[in-house]
Amino acid sequence: MTKKIVYPGSFDPVTNGHLDIVERAAKIFDEVIVSVFCNPNKEPVFTMDERVEMLKKSTKDLHNVKVDSFSGLTTKYVHSIGGEAILRGLRAVSDFEGEFQMASMNKHLDEEIETIFLMTDTKYAFLSSSVIKEAAYFNGNIRELVPDFVYQKLRNKFKAKK
């Protein structure tokens, strides 16, 4: 049996913290599906297609990683593609409460699907897509926190808005 896990998120944009989680999960699971979630509560900087493209480019060397997108309940999506678990990254203790609540709700919705947590590398513990976007907007140095092509996309995106 192939062990398939889904790593859902908005990935707006993908960061090196996200990629740390993906790379480590790829060593543990047979197949990792990184799936861009359409979150109705967020106004993304990048389109769904742009985010999928950035993830595909970022994970192209990881042969057991696939990139997808979805909207709706994560548990229904995971079940529809034959996944066994949901992968969530934890940066700090402050993430735990919200992630615990989400994992509990997902378990209520589908008791067959587990949630697996991985701690990100401590050098990325402060990192989030929101922090990256804010720093990029004000022309902060984020080169070591995102892939090079994501850095360029952010610069171009915010240059166009100003």
Residues catalogued as catalytic: 18, 42, 91, 129
What whole-number distance in Å separates Cα of residue 159 and Cα of residue 162? 5
Annotation-wise, does 144 bind a ligand?
Answer: no
Annotation-wise, does 129 bind a ligand?
Answer: yes
What whole-number distance in Å separates Cα of residue 87 and Cα of residue 41? 21
Annotation-wise, does 74 bind a ligand?
Answer: yes
Annotation-wise, does 89 bind a ligand?
Answer: yes
Annotation-wise, does 11 bind a ligand?
Answer: yes
Element (H, E) at 132: helix 129-137
- Token pair, residue 97, equals 């409460």
Burial (Cβ within 10 Å: 0-12, 13-18, ≥19) of residue 136: buried
Annotation-wise, does 90 bind a ligand?
Answer: yes
Annotation-wise, does 128 bind a ligand?
Answer: yes
Q: Which residues are annotated binding-site positions?
A: 10-11, 18, 42, 74, 88-91, 99, 124-130
Q: Which residues are annotated binding-site positions for substrate?
A: 10, 42, 74, 88
Q: Which residues are annotated binding-site positions for ATP?
A: 10-11, 18, 89-91, 99, 124-130
